[in-house]
Amino acid sequence: MAKPEINQKAPFVIECEPGEYWWCACGKSENQPWCDGSHEGTGIEPIHTVVEEKRRYAWCGCKHSGKNPFCDGSHKKL
């Protein structure tokens, strides 16, 4: 399996409205943390997430979280 690129060693903390989001799992998107289709051919697919309430979310930036698409602190060990 392909390994994702580390985009940044910190989460993307973003206030999100309720709705559907596609989180970039490959690390190649130019529109981080959202998928822009750059994963094509990598064998890594984006993760579809439904946000139920408006609030700040910590989206994983290192792409190595055990709780993808959200940050679990894994970037501190990279």
pLDDT tens-digit map of 3-21 = 999 999 999 999 999 999 9
| Per-residue pLDDT reduced to its tens digit, 23-50 | 999 999 999 999 999 999 999 999 999 9
Beta carbons of 43 and 1 less than 8 angstroms apart: yes
pLDDT band at 59 (very low <50, low <70, confident <90, very high): very high
Other CB atoms within 10 Å distance of the CB of residue 12: 18
pTM: 0.93
In the numeric block, the tokens 């501190």 are attached to 76
Going by pLDDT thresholds of 50, 70 and 90, the confidence category of residue 2 is confident
Whether the per-residue pLDDT at 1 is higher than 80: the answer is no
Residue 77 gets which letter from DSSP?
A: G
Which domains, and CATH codes, for the chain? 19-51+61-77 (3.40.5)
Q: CA nearest 39: which of 65, 68, 5, 64?
A: 5
